[in-house]
Amino acid sequence: MRWTAQVLFVAPLLAASALAQTSCTKLTNDLPAPSMAPGYISDIASRGLKYPRGIQWDTTGHLLVVDRGVGIFRFSVDSCLQLQDRRLIINDTELNHGISMSPDGKTLFATTNDVAYSWSYDPDTGDVDDRKTLVTGMANTEEDGHVTRTLLSPISKPDWLIISVGSQSNIDVSTLSVNSGKAQIRAFNVSEVSKKPVVFHNSGFILGWGLRNSVGITEDNEAQLWSVENSVDGVMRNGEEIHENNPAEELNFHGSLLDSSPRGNYGYPNCYAVWAADEIPDHTGLQTGDQFAQVENSTVNDIICAERYQPPRISFHAHQAPLDIKFDGDGQAWISFHGSWNRAEPIGYRVVTVAFANGQPKEANNSQSAAIEIMANPDLSQCQTSCFRPAGLAFDTAGHLWMSSDATGEIYVIRKDDGSGVAAFTSNAAVSGPTPGPTPSDKPSSASGVVVSGWLVTVMVGLGMLVYML
Ligand SMILES: *[C@@H]1O[C@H](CO)[C@@H](O)[C@H](O)[C@H]1NC(C)=O
Ligand SMILES: *[C@@H]1O[C@H](CO)[C@@H](O)[C@H](O)[C@H]1NC(C)=O
Ligand SMILES: *[C@@H]1O[C@H](CO)[C@@H](O)[C@H](O)[C@H]1NC(C)=O
Ligand SMILES: *[C@@H]1O[C@H](CO)[C@@H](O)[C@H](O)[C@H]1NC(C)=O
């Protein structure tokens, strides 16, 4: 069992952090408090970043944050679960989203629009060294081209660096060719590309193509790869504009990382997933999760969409813009939705879970209710300007979920309302090291900047006894 070592490791730390906990001053902003599902709380852990995107734990319990247009910051975490000791460990204004750490914690990866780099990383000091160029040729230079290159250094395949590259434009017909190197997820052998960099479009192992912009990629606790795809804007059907509630955003399944058989095409730019079937002209037989063609003719039509392409495993309401997905230790998926722009009424701007059992989502492929809302903006009409916008997600070893909000320059931490983690352990936990354990939740405060009494916890280690006092 993969997590055994972590369990032994974390237990003494919980006691240590409980001892240090006395009181916490909540960080606040001018936004209305997030709406939390019953049983959950969220707090601001850091403010004042420029545009934080991908986040990643190191093996000594420091959070690394890609601040777009700045570089990579490293933070320590205090007993109030606030980020301290901010230090810019990589000063590179081109880094814009992607970040990952090798499972041994000693190699850091990050991306620009064009290039994937590695650095040797010292988890004790946070010092980086020996920058290497691994993969090049990923730049999208069109105005509506997708610029993030999400990275994953999988625990189940530590030799690999997986990279997701989006399309060059909203509807990019160059991606009909697998050699375009756009709208694809590929895996590269780190030992090999560290010796000699490669160009994305003609190397690596293809884990899926025909994926418009799969910004979130992750492995589950069973070595299977999943991605969340941002689907097309302004979609038409046989000449009619139907973009308000279609097409669906997608949760796609890419199979086991230990399986080397060739992967399929997921439909883009020929076929898109249905969200609201009855709003699609000539929708006979279509239901949520099926794929449809924008214009039906003899070479591209709904039947060919169904026969040739991989459908999503789960669909989400159009335009929510999923940016990250992470599995918790109980095997449930957590997804950040950045929020819409291509829609009259804003939608998204929230964090959801999708329930899994036996390595697959519990809900059927045609479900419209797979996303369970955990954290949301209370007034969507104020978005995009006055809302937090979820981007990167990362679990610490205590099962707290950390989230970056790029638009507000903040990092949040989401917990159960007793201060414990949202789930026991996570795939990320295997990479991340000790972070302060679950701190009992602070009492909510109405005024900003108020010092809130925390729980003073005395741990009588010698007697093996815990005494809790308010
Ligand atoms: C980052 O590098 C630039 C250019 O070398 C320099 O001007 C800037 O001060 C550096 N920023 C920090 C925070 O060190
Ligand atoms: C990566 O390349 C090395 C050296 O060529 C090889 O030994 C290893 O098996 C490769 N790993 C994978 C996952 O293909
Ligand atoms: C059918 O539509 C596709 C996508 O718009 C287009 O690429 C293709 O050329 C069309 N085929 C015919 C026979 O018109
Ligand atoms: C969903 O679709 C996948 C892939 O086509 C299929 O293997 C699976 O059986 C379907 N599951 C459900 C619950 O419909």
Q: Ligand 2 test: best mutation among 157, 191, 194, 196, most atoms within 8 Å of CB?
A: 191
pLDDT of 448 reads 33
Tens digit of pLDDT for each residue in 172-184?
Answer: 999 999 999 999 9
Mean pLDDT value across residues 97-123: 98
Q: Which of 376, 403, 384, 377 is nearest to 392 (CA)?
A: 403
Judge whether residue 440 has pLDDT over 60: no
Nearest alpha carbon, ligand 1 atom 6: 91
Which listed CATH number (3.40.50.300, 2.120.10.30, 3.40.1710.10, 3.40.640.10) goes with 5-469? Answer: 2.120.10.30
pLDDT of 286 reads 97
pLDDT of 271 reads 98
Beta carbon of 88 within 6 Å of any ligand 1 atom: yes
Mean pLDDT value across residues 226-248: 96
Mean pLDDT value across residues 40-58: 98
Kindly report the number of other CB atoms within 10 A of residue 14's CB atom.
18
Place of tokens 């707290």: 400
DSSP 267: -
CA dist 396 and 77 (Å) reads 11
Q: Which of 186, 166, 163 is nearest to 175 (CA)?
A: 166
The answer to whether 336 and 391 have CB atoms below 8 angstroms apart is: yes
More confident residue, 16 or 100: 100
pLDDT of 387 reads 97
CA dist 146 and 139 (Å) reads 9
Residues with CB under 6 A from ligand 3: 295, 297-300
Given the CA of residue 157, which atom of ligand 2 is nearest to it?
13
Question: Of the given ranges (32-36, 66-70, 130-134, 419-423), which has the lowest mean pLDDT?
Answer: 419-423
Beta carbon of 188 within 6 Å of any ligand 2 atom: no
Nearest alpha carbon, ligand 3 atom 3: 300
CA dist 402 and 147 (Å) reads 23
Residue 153 C-alpha to ligand 2 middle, in angstroms? 14
Q: Ligand 3 test: best mutation among 175, 297, 298, 301, most atoms within 8 Å of CB?
A: 297
More confident residue, 153 or 452: 153
Beta carbon of 160 within 6 Å of any ligand 2 atom: yes
CA dist 164 and 23 (Å) reads 42
Beta carbon of 392 within 6 Å of any ligand 4 atom: no
Question: Of the given ranges (85-89, 118-122, 154-158, 464-468), which has the lowest mean pLDDT?
Answer: 464-468
pLDDT of 324 reads 98
Please state, in angstroms and as integers, the Cα–Cα distance from residue 54 to each residue in 243, 387, 411, following that order: 29, 19, 11
Q: What percent of the chain shows pLDDT beyond 70?
A: 86
Judge whether residue 438 has pLDDT over 70: no
CA dist 79 and 15 (Å) reads 11
| Distance of alpha carbon 233 from the chain centroid | 21
Tens digit of pLDDT for each residue in 377-433?
Answer: 999 999 988 999 999 999 999 999 999 999 999 999 999 999 999 987 554 444 443
Kindly report the number of other CB atoms within 10 A of residue 263's CB atom.
19
Question: Of the given ranges (3-12, 92-101, 277-286, 332-341), which has the lowest mean pLDDT?
Answer: 3-12
Judge whether residue 221 has pLDDT over 80: yes
| Distance of alpha carbon 147 from the chain centroid | 16
pLDDT of 133 reads 98
The string of DSSP letters for 115-137 reads -EEEEEE-TTT--EEEEEEEEE-
CA dist 150 and 102 (Å) reads 14
Tell me the residue type at 163: I
Residue 151 C-alpha to ligand 1 middle, in angstroms? 25
With cut-offs at 50, 70 and 90, classify the pLDDT of residue 142: confident
Kindly report the number of other CB atoms within 10 A of residue 86's CB atom.
14
Beta carbon of 260 within 6 Å of any ligand 1 atom: no
Beta carbon of 365 within 6 Å of any ligand 4 atom: yes
| Distance of alpha carbon 1 from the chain centroid | 25
The string of DSSP letters for 125-180 reads T--EEEEEEEEE-----STT----EEEE--TT-TTEEEEEE--SSSS-GGGGSGGG
pLDDT of 424 reads 72
Name residues whose C-beta falls within 8 Å of residue 273's C-beta, 6 or more positions apart in sequence: 231, 247, 248, 250, 267, 288, 289, 290, 291, 292, 311, 312, 315
Residue 122 C-alpha to ligand 3 middle, in angstroms? 53
With cut-offs at 50, 70 and 90, classify the pLDDT of residue 138: very high
Tell me the CA end-to-end span of the chain in Å, nearest whole number.
37
Please give the mean pLDDT across all residues of the chain: 88
Beta carbon of 364 within 6 Å of any ligand 4 atom: yes
Judge whether residue 445 has pLDDT over 90: no
Beta carbon of 260 within 6 Å of any ligand 2 atom: no
Residue 282 phi, psi (nearest 5):
55, 50
Given the CA of residue 269, which atom of ligand 3 is nearest to it?
4
Mean pLDDT value across residues 222-243: 96
Mean pLDDT value across residues 103-114: 97
Beta carbon of 194 within 6 Å of any ligand 2 atom: no
Q: Which of 174, 176, 219 is nearest to 359 (CA)?
A: 219
Nearest ligand to the CA atom of 190: 2
Q: Looking at 174-267, list the stretches that DSSP marks H as alpha helix, in order from N- to C-terminal side.
A: 190-195
With cut-offs at 50, 70 and 90, classify the pLDDT of residue 10: very low
Q: Are strands 99-101 and 107-111 parallel, antiparallel or unpaired?
A: antiparallel
Beta carbon of 50 within 6 Å of any ligand 1 atom: no
Residue 262 C-alpha to ligand 2 middle, in angstroms? 18
Kindly report the number of other CB atoms within 10 A of residue 41's CB atom.
18
Nearest alpha carbon, ligand 1 atom 1: 91
Place of tokens 């999923």: 322
Tell me the residue type at 243: H
pLDDT of 432 reads 44
Given the CA of residue 311, which atom of ligand 4 is nearest to it?
5
CA dist 268 and 403 (Å) reads 29
Tokens of 61: 């319990």
Judge whether residue 466 has pLDDT over 50: no
Q: Which of 157, 161, 158, 113 is nearest to 134 (CA)?
A: 161
Beta carbon of 189 within 6 Å of any ligand 2 atom: yes
Tokens of 237: 């059907």
pLDDT of 244 reads 96
Beta carbon of 466 within 6 Å of any ligand 4 atom: no
pLDDT of 439 reads 40
pLDDT of 155 reads 95
Predicted model pTM: 0.88
Given the CA of residue 298, which atom of ligand 3 is nearest to it?
13
CA dist 377 and 375 (Å) reads 7
Residue 160 C-alpha to ligand 2 middle, in angstroms? 9
With cut-offs at 50, 70 and 90, classify the pLDDT of residue 461: very low
Residue 213 C-alpha to ligand 3 middle, in angstroms? 22
The answer to whether 212 and 269 have CB atoms below 8 angstroms apart is: yes
Given the CA of residue 310, which atom of ligand 4 is nearest to it?
5
Given the CA of residue 205, which atom of ligand 2 is nearest to it?
14
CA dist 468 and 470 (Å) reads 7
Mean pLDDT value across residues 348-376: 98
